[in-house]
Structure 1
Amino acid sequence: MEIMGLAHPRPVTFALANDVVDSDSHGATDEDFVPLARVFVTPELDGWTLVIGRWCSPVIDERSEDVLQLCTALSARYGQAQAYYYGAQADGSGWLVAQDGVVVRRYCETGDGEDELLTLGEPLPLERARRAELGLSPEWDAAEEDEDDEDEWKWVAHDLAPEIAKALGVSPLALTPSTSVRGIGVLALTPYGVAHGVPPGAPSQVPCGEA
């Protein structure tokens, strides 16, 4: 939390944290809405700590370079650090993988015409495996790829972030009763939240039953 500049941690359940993060990510209607203000820092899950919230996205314009720098610093300290974006309603996927202070890979498929500008590093083994299953070359350049091949790959890559997260560490979408848990989760303010004077804890409006 110190490396990431997170502040004012408050213990919180998974259920409440999910509501808060969902509300912050998808747009509250009050005038004080700050979508990058809060994150959920999980307990240790099978040896990993997850930090969940829009502020952690490696692909949105206002956060991509800052998240890259954070993952670089975290991996230098802890050996590995990753960041993911996943839009469960066909909004695409993005992933950033850093190892020992070096960014190994950044890639996204969100339907944005400038997705390819974020690409860094060589394809991950799982990317190569999925392309091989499609009969596509494991090495490719989006600027030169055949249009049909490009479309076929985009459909697969669009939903690939959770699978990559699970293969390389822990996916929040794949937690089970057998997941090893140590410690407690907290809701914390990001530097954005502190700068905008967002109060710690739950937001004033948390939609009930919103998926």
Structure 2
Amino acid sequence: MDMRAVAESLIAGDHVSTWELRDAGPDDFPELREIRRTGSPALRNAARALLFAVGGPEALGEYDLGLVRRLIRSKLAVEVPVAMRSCEYWFAIPTTDQAAVLDAFGLSDAEPVTMSLGTEIWNQHYDSGHQRCARVYVSPALDGWTLVFGRPSDDQHPADITEESSWSIEPREQYQAMLANEKVYRGVESARCVELSRRFSAAHLYFRSHGDSMTSWCIAEKGELVRFYDVAVPEESVGELAAENGYLLPHEDTPLPEGWADDIEHTENPLDWQREWVRRHRRLKAELGIPDHCDADTIAEALSVHPGKIGPHTRVEGHGVIALTRCGREYGHPRTLLTGLAYTPPPERPSVFDEDRT
């Protein structure tokens, strides 16, 4: 693979993903290390990022690894919390004892990271294989809560899960197998929260999909399951929370009059219909006093710390770490292309829901 060309693409600002590096490996290390020795400053920085992406920290060598660690330490001293985006799935534990959290999740090889860098790494956990279960980001204590982004390996690979490769080719049977796996994961997640709550007095687990309306939350206290809710299976709900009062649950329909949108005119521009639908929906909700829907973000903000709302106002103790799970210890660091040590949340995408609130 022409690693110099890839490095030049990084310098030019072109998008390069770890998927595009799938054919790269140890055979490319000599070329990258040569670039590190003889290239321009920009090329040397790009080569360092590619070495980390392809081979993990071990591929950097002692000098570069020490350089990165020193840079992280310097940034930790002056870091200001930045709201996270695309967090989707996280635990919230009411403790400042990070070492105890690492032990409870079976994590090791912890490396200090800034919150910005931890976020950048976490946002690259979607690839296949063991990318999702090899590494976990553990935050510093935020207003007394430690947030954990990722699952322990045992939770990612429970015994009762059936691998997709063993599923029938018949669509209905595939769907049933998928539902069965999801039920297993729900049981594992609830059991994990209960187990953690015995050790830390409480444990929360939140999920909020940014691609659709899927959301769930699980709250355990002192070894008891206090609340479980998943929009996909509201019939399996356990308990209720005061924080849900005044909201509709995600699966509940908004009780608007029948036919309330039937007379909205369809024009050549579909956005015209959508804008009018949004305006009328909001107006009717206000007139009829219909509450908003809650989701995991709502509940997390009310009960613990919501990652998307942290900022300069957040009290921070300690520093975050990236740590390996059992899968990480066995298979190594997943491929992660770090283009910098500073993270800026992407701008919110424009939406018809934000254009006009009349």
- Scaled by the length of structure 2, the TM-score of the pair is 0.44
Question: What residue in structure 1 maps to residue 139 of structure 2?
Answer: 42
Question: What residue in structure 2 maps to residue 192 of structure 1?
Answer: 327
CA contact (8 A) 2:131 2:335 kept: no
**Matches for 1:155-174 after TM superposition, within 5 Å:** 157=293, 160-174=295-309
1:21 aligns with 2:122: yes
Change (3 A) 1:13 1:75: same
SS at match of 2:196: helix
How many residues are paired up? 180
Distance, in Å, in 1 between the alignment partners of 2:322 and 2:335 is: 11
CA contact (8 A) 2:230 2:237 kept: no
Question: What residue in structure 2 maps to residue 81 of structure 1?
Answer: 203
CA contact (8 A) 1:75 1:98 kept: yes
Measure how far apart 1:5 and its partner are.
0.9
Change (3 A) 1:45 1:210: closer
Measure how far apart 1:63 and its partner are.
3.9
**Residue by residue, what CA displacement relative to the aligned partner does 1:89-123 show, whole Å, maximum 9, x if unpaired?**
334211000011111111122xx4xx236x34222
Distance, in Å, in 2 between the alignment partners of 1:178 and 1:161 is: 22
Range with greater deviation from structure 2 (171-180 or 46-55): 46-55
Measure how far apart 1:174 and its partner are.
1.0
Distance, in Å, in 2 between the alignment partners of 1:162 and 1:54 is: 19
Measure how far apart 1:85 and its partner are.
0.6
CA contact (8 A) 1:4 1:70 kept: no
1:151 aligns with 2:253: yes
SS at match of 1:166: helix
Change (3 A) 1:188 1:66: farther
Amino acid at match of 2:245: R
Distance, in Å, in 2 between the alignment partners of 1:152 and 1:20 is: 38
Distance, in Å, in 2 between the alignment partners of 1:79 and 1:11 is: 26
Which has the higher relative contact order, 1 or 2, with Cα contacts under 8 A spaced 6 or more apart? 1
Amino acid at match of 2:253: D
Measure how far apart 1:72 and its partner are.
1.1
Amino acid at match of 2:135: R
Distance, in Å, in 2 between the alignment partners of 1:178 and 1:210 is: 17
Measure how far apart 1:3 and its partner are.
1.4
Change (3 A) 1:65 1:182: same
Change (3 A) 1:4 1:190: same
Range with greater deviation from structure 2 (164-173 or 62-71): 62-71
SS at match of 2:254: helix
CA contact (8 A) 1:95 1:108 kept: yes
CA contact (8 A) 2:204 2:218 kept: yes
**Residue by residue, what CA displacement relative to the aligned partner does 1:125-154 show, whole Å, maximum 9, x if unpaired?**
2223213xxxxxx9xxx9xxxxxx83339x
SS at match of 2:104: coil
Measure how far apart 1:52 and its partner are.
1.3
Q: Which runs of 5+ in 1 are unaligned?
A: 132-137, 143-148
- Of 12, 21, 24, which residue of structure 1 is paired with 2:113? 12
Amino acid at match of 2:131: V
**Residue by residue, what CA displacement relative to the aligned partner does 1:43-96 show, whole Å, maximum 9, x if unpaired?**
111001000136689xx8364333322211221111111001111233421100
Question: What residue in structure 2 maps to residue 205 of structure 1?
Answer: 337
CA contact (8 A) 1:85 1:94 kept: yes
Question: What residue in structure 2 maps to residue 53 of structure 1?
Answer: 150
Q: CA RMSD in A?
A: 3.2
Measure how far apart 1:165 and its partner are.
0.6
Q: Which runs of 5+ in 2 are unaligned?
A: 1-101, 157-180, 256-291, 347-358
- Higher-Rg structure is 2
Question: What residue in structure 1 maps to residue 317 of structure 2?
Answer: 182
- Scaled by the length of structure 1, the TM-score of the pair is 0.71
Change (3 A) 1:65 1:191: farther
